[in-house]
Structure 1
Amino acid sequence: MADTKPWLDPEALQGDDNFLADYGEDMSRTLNLDTWLPENAVEQMMALLKREISDAVNAEDALRSRIRHEVLPLIRGHPGGPQEAGVYSAEPAQFESIYQSLLFAGRVEAVNGSFASYESLPMGITQIGIAIVGYEGTQGTFSQRLFRKEMAEKHNHLLDEVFDCISRRQENSSSTRKAPYSRLARRGIRAYAERAALVDKARAEWRIGQGNPCAYDLLTGSGYQRLLDASLDVLHRLVKRQKKFVFVNPILEDRGWLTLGSALNPGEYTVIETMERFGKQVVGRWQYDAGSRQRVARFVEECCPDILTGVFRTSTRAPPRLFHAHREHVHVAARIAMADSLLRRERGYPLLLDMAEMTCRSVFGEDGFLGLVQDAYSQVGAGLQFFNDSRSRR
């Protein structure tokens, strides 16, 4: 039937098998509260945690051994892979050279950002901060503030504006919307600002960024044409002009590649693929207009083959890290990221990126921002009627 609702379509409810595969039990058992533990069952909880964690670690060790001996040797020369694909080892002498000639010589800078938001009925206020740091100190901090207002002061058709305001507020806060455009805008603007600062404001020879250089929010514009245009411009300059960059992902993204990386020994890194596959996936899934689709597809064709994706590992006590770098400088880029990560061996993540984030928190801290907003509300006579102390569930 043409007007069948998605939630009534039996073809749309096929997640049970996936749940069983992911969690090892049927969902009906999970939903049965008789299988849930009471709050005072601490010993049972610890026994359950120890058993599940032990089983998972043992299975992961077995998987790691097989990957190391049977899969990693296949990366080099894999059909369809880049010519740089393979497993490489960085020697202590190479790290020492990078410390002396690049990192501590001030020839590497990192860019990271943060944002804080305050939501109330009259408006939503977002502060986005960006910091550029190197081992010679902070090179610059920048901030922008966005004011989201559903109620415009037009007053031409007041009743229509009132209903429009109520509708927009309900739409923007609806739980059925997974990512309202205002949230997408904040995330996309921060991602753009980090890369724009890295390209246009940083001055060091080498630049370190966080995440995926061609982030999904940028290749889609987060639904905004101007953001898409600006993003394609800055990314094109990053890839075709700057070239000496490395991006490191702080989160468990591309878990398949990280599984390969878990089989690496400390001091090893692997180059796996270009970013062309990722770019084509974005183009295939996002609903662009014809002109924008053509522009993004052209960018993916021209620039994404020049960006290589790999994984490095600095310590057995730290997780492997996904990195992206220009193919002309991929080996130096990987070693810069690894050398900087060795300065905090237990984390295995570039220290400069952590320093940039800490700088943002210091200069554009959330507590200070919220205090200023609440003080401003008080000074205009609003008191606490628009005070928001809620914490969303994650």
Structure 2
Amino acid sequence: MDDPRDPRRDATSETAGNDDFGNEGLTSSDTLELEFREALNLANWTSGNRLQELGERLEREVELAARHESEMAPRVLDILRRNLASAEGASVESGVFQLKPEIVLNALRNVLFNGLVEASDGTRVTVATLPVTVVQIGVCLTSYSGDGDGGSIGHRLFRHDIMRRNSAAEQDVIDFLGRRRRRGMDTSAYGDDDQPMGISDMLCRALMIYGERAMLLERSERPWRLGHGGPMPHELIVGSGRKEMAFASLEMLRKLLLDHKRFIFVPSEISDQTVVTIANSLQPLQYAVLRDTTDIIENYVQGSSYERPHYKRSGLYQAVRSFQVDAGSKVLLCVYRASAIAPGRVFYAHEDHVHEAAQIVIADAALQESRGFPNLIDIADRTCRGMFEPGGLSAQVHATLARSGSPFRFLEERRTRP
């Protein structure tokens, strides 16, 4: 792979945009407050026969907002170049870099199309009926070499409210109704007291993303591992209510992130609008290495139940803090932009391989000019959804209920509408 250190830096200075943004002296919250107060007076609303005026204002507001955003981009980049190296959580690799087209092409030919990168993605579907809930989780590996299918695994979870019978028939009924009452309030499949509970969406998602990352670690034989989402998701670090999930996740992530190191994680979106703004300020084939991810884990732990004595006695609190120090300081938060029409995106990589990772993710994302998202992750997603098609599971569940003499009894009202 090409050494990006000579051509990557973009030393060109860019001219700041126009300062005339209108509404001088007003903040965004001020203008929103003004809009809200005006909306309380129906005289300021637009009648149905004048809706064209709303469309005209919409066009003006959107065009103005897009222009202002574009004018702000060079200023954002200028601030980044001057301040990234000294910012809180900065890495020795922090900076704004520019890739040449030939470097991107070489990453495509020599790395991606040579099959040196494998992507993992998962899917999950829940079929909920009154007597049983079935959750199906599937995970697939995909690369550009061979047949494109590097392997797939699936798992199903079942929740029954009637777990077992005891000699007291009345107590059976009371327990059964109690479980139904608690079904909507349950947060995990089994609590720390080992009593049966509902299958929460958070736990199912945690199992899926655990499977995606474990698949990259244990089943992939390619040097580079490409994953969807963040490298250290909240569901895994907090265990989704299960200590064994948290301990297993920390051990697995240590091996993937700190021992293997050659990974790239690309989320579909993140909640930090500052980072999104920085990503959208980049020029095509640019990327920026922002900071480490120590603060991400800090947000998971600070003020959470992990600070309670129970978790400290179990050793989980100490394990998370140790992981924060070791992994948080080495896994870096970065942004890139693959083309002129694509939005900026976020990616995570290890500090030792962040510039190689940037070449790979930009090269793969450039294959989708308008999306600017890694094509290999999309292929893994489509492969997984095709192999673990959700409609098939639902059909099988309801066909089995029909054979049991209940073809309509447990169907939702909407499913029986003519």
TM-score tier, shorter chain, comes to 0.7 to 0.9
Kindly tell me: are residues 35 and 174 of structure 1, through their superposed partners in 2, closer, same or farther at Cα, counting changes over 3 Å?
farther
Provide, for residues 85-122 of structure 1, a one-character-per-residue CA deviation record: whole Å limited to 9, x for no partner: 10011111211221222111111100000111111111
Aligned to 1:281: 299
Whole-angstrom CA distance in 2 between matches of 1:40 and 1:173: 46
**Pairing 1:130–2:139 present:** yes
Aligned to 1:357: 381
Aligned to 2:410: 386
Aligned to 2:8: none
Provide, for residues 301-335 of structure 1, a one-character-per-residue CA deviation record: whole Å limited to 9, x for no partner: 12221101100001121111110001110000111
**Pairing 1:189–2:207 present:** yes
1:136-285 aligned within 5 A: 136=145, 137-173=148-184, 182-285=200-303
Aligned to 1:75: 84
Whole-angstrom CA distance in 2 between matches of 1:149 and 1:31: 50
Provide, for residues 9-43 of structure 1, a one-character-per-residue CA deviation record: whole Å limited to 9, x for no partner: xxxxxxxxx99569555767667888777888753
Aligned to 2:14: none
Kindly tell me: are residues 120 and 310 of structure 1, through their superposed partners in 2, closer, same or farther at Cα, counting changes over 3 Å?
same
Report the CA distance between 1:388 and its aligned residue.
Answer: 3.5
Kindly tell me: are residues 273 and 159 of structure 1, through their superposed partners in 2, closer, same or farther at Cα, counting changes over 3 Å?
farther
SS at match of 1:285: coil
Note if contact 2:284-2:340 (Cα within 8 Å) is conserved in structure 1.
yes
SS at match of 1:239: helix
**Pairing 1:111–2:120 present:** yes
Provide, for residues 209-255 of structure 1, a one-character-per-residue CA deviation record: whole Å limited to 9, x for no partner: 01111001011001111211111111010122211000011124322
1:17-56 aligned within 5 A: 23-24=32-33, 43-56=52-65
Kindly tell me: are residues 341 and 121 of structure 1, through their superposed partners in 2, closer, same or farther at Cα, counting changes over 3 Å?
same
Which one-letter code corresponds to 1:183 in the other structure? D
Provide, for residues 157-184 of structure 1, a one-character-per-residue CA deviation record: whole Å limited to 9, x for no partner: 444443444344343326999xx86111
Report the CA distance between 1:150 and its aligned residue.
Answer: 2.5
Note if contact 1:261-1:320 (Cα within 8 Å) is conserved in structure 2.
yes
**Pairing 1:376–2:376 present:** no
Aligned to 1:8: none
Whole-angstrom CA distance in 2 between matches of 1:43 and 1:148: 53
Q: Given the alignment, which residue of 282, 304, 324 partners 1:300?
A: 324
Report the CA distance between 1:49 and its aligned residue.
Answer: 3.1
Which one-letter code corresponds to 1:360 in the other structure? C
Q: CA RMSD in A?
A: 2.8
Aligned to 1:66: 75
Whole-angstrom CA distance in 2 between matches of 1:334 and 1:390: 48
Note if contact 1:212-1:248 (Cα within 8 Å) is conserved in structure 2.
yes
Which one-letter code corresponds to 1:54 in the other structure? E
Kindly tell me: are residues 176 and 93 of structure 1, through their superposed partners in 2, closer, same or farther at Cα, counting changes over 3 Å?
closer
Whole-angstrom CA distance in 2 between matches of 1:35 and 1:159: 64
Report the CA distance between 1:270 and its aligned residue.
Answer: 0.3
Aligned to 1:10: none
Choose 340-349 or 48-57, whichever is displaced more: 48-57
Whole-angstrom CA distance in 1 between matches of 2:126 and 2:47: 37
SS at match of 1:262: helix
Whole-angstrom CA distance in 2 between matches of 1:175 and 1:50: 46
Aligned to 1:7: none
Aligned to 1:9: none
Note if contact 1:188-1:217 (Cα within 8 Å) is conserved in structure 2.
yes
Which one-letter code corresponds to 2:404 in the other structure? V
Note if contact 1:172-1:182 (Cα within 8 Å) is conserved in structure 2.
no
Q: Given the alignment, which residue of 353, 359, 370 partners 1:329?
A: 353
Whole-angstrom CA distance in 1 between matches of 2:299 and 2:205: 20
Which consecutive unaligned segments of at least 5 residues does structure 1 have? 1-17
Aligned to 2:66: 57
Instruction: Report the TM-score when normalising by structure 2.
Output: 0.81
Report the CA distance between 1:361 and its aligned residue.
Answer: 1.0
Which consecutive unaligned segments of at least 5 residues does structure 2 have? 1-26, 189-197
Whole-angstrom CA distance in 1 between matches of 2:28 and 2:205: 30
Which one-letter code corresponds to 1:83 in the other structure? V
- Report how many aligned residue pairs link the two structures: 372
Kindly tell me: are residues 65 and 163 of structure 1, through their superposed partners in 2, closer, same or farther at Cα, counting changes over 3 Å?
farther
Identity score, percent: 30
